[in-house]
Amino acid sequence: MYIMDDGIRLYAALELPEACAPRLPLVIVLHGFTGHMDEPHLVALSETIRGLGCATLRVELYGHGRSGGSFREHTIYKWVNNALRVIDYARSLDFVEGLYLCGHSQGGLTAMLAAGMKADALDGLILLSPATMIPDLARAGADLAGSSFDPRHVPERLSTWEGLTLDGNYARVAQTVRVEPAIDAYDGPVLLIQGTADETVPRACAERAAGRYRNCELVWLPEDDHCYNFQLPLAQKALGDWLGRQLAASGRPRC
Ligand code: FER
């Protein structure tokens, strides 16, 4: 299925749990930079979520997966707009009672920014190795997706480590992104999961974000990487435990 955002088709998979109450919480799941909805860790964590009686809505964002827009033209603002639109779509579904937003890496950064704008629409935020260093790399012009440049004279095109090309506007947008105000604007419950051996997102980023949120639980996955290739069952357990506690505390009906 597709969710339309200002003429752009966002490819999405809405999946219900096996045993289903008439009204259910829903968790929106966002992938990262160059990612898509069928990455194994996103599929597995979505299964864990459905095992708790929640629906999942995995979405592919602008320029990624089967969605519209080109990779080259994507920016964090476009992703944030997509996320706001997807939150509105989820809220419009009759069966939804309770809404959580989950994002991995650049999708985690996007989730943080969207949650700061729509805190009242969300019951919780699940951050999987959120890439909060992207704005700092863009401001420094240092190794942004493998590309270094003068941050005051951003080139028209950036060549990334994946052999893909990004428009310079990706960097210009990222330079303006501030995570702290977004964190301060969201006072709901947050779960942050990160591998201790993540080579993409520095540990200090997870510590800073988790320490700044008013209500955040930080779970370290020992020796795990950016996509949980080594400790996926532990990531599933951390998410299952946290979400189970949130659902119990919400007092909402579920399976
Ligand atoms: C970067 C490091 C990480 C970057 C993007 C990411 C655009 C995002 C990773 C992900 O979403 O998995 O330098 O530059």
Residue 232 pLDDT: 98
Q: Is residue 218 situated within a structural domain? A: yes
Distance (Å) from CA 107 to ligand 1 centroid = 10
Task: Write down how long the chain is.
Answer: 255
CATH assignment of the domain containing 38: 3.40.50.1820
Does residue 219 contact residue 238 with C-beta atoms inside 8 Å?
yes
**Ligand 1 close to Cβ of residue 105 (< 6 A):** yes
Pocket test for ligand 1, best of 200, 225, 227, 228 (most atoms within 8 A of CB): 200
Residue 139 pLDDT: 98
Going by C-alpha positions, the residue among 76, 32, 89 that lies closest to residue 182 is: 76
Question: pLDDT tens track of the chain, all 255 residues?
Answer: 999 999 999 999 999 999 778 899 999 999 999 999 999 999 999 999 999 999 999 999 999 999 999 999 999 999 999 999 999 999 999 999 999 999 999 999 999 999 999 999 999 999 999 999 999 999 999 999 999 999 999 999 999 988 999 999 999 999 999 999 999 999 999 999 999 999 999 999 999 999 999 999 999 999 999 999 999 999 999 999 999 999 999 986 555
**Ligand 1 close to Cβ of residue 134 (< 6 A):** yes
Q: Is residue 235 situated within a structural domain? A: yes
Going by C-alpha positions, the residue among 61, 64, 82 that lies closest to residue 164 is: 64
Structural domain that includes position 71: 2-250
Q: Is residue 33 situated within a structural domain? A: yes
**Ligand 1 close to Cβ of residue 130 (< 6 A):** no
Residue 255 pLDDT: 56
Q: Is residue 123 situated within a structural domain? A: yes
**Tally of domains in the chain:** 1
Q: Is residue 255 situated within a structural domain? A: no
Q: Is residue 221 situated within a structural domain? A: yes
Q: Is residue 75 situated within a structural domain? A: yes
pTM over cut 0.95:
yes
Cα Rg for the chain, rounded, in angstroms? 17
Tokens of 200: 């993409």
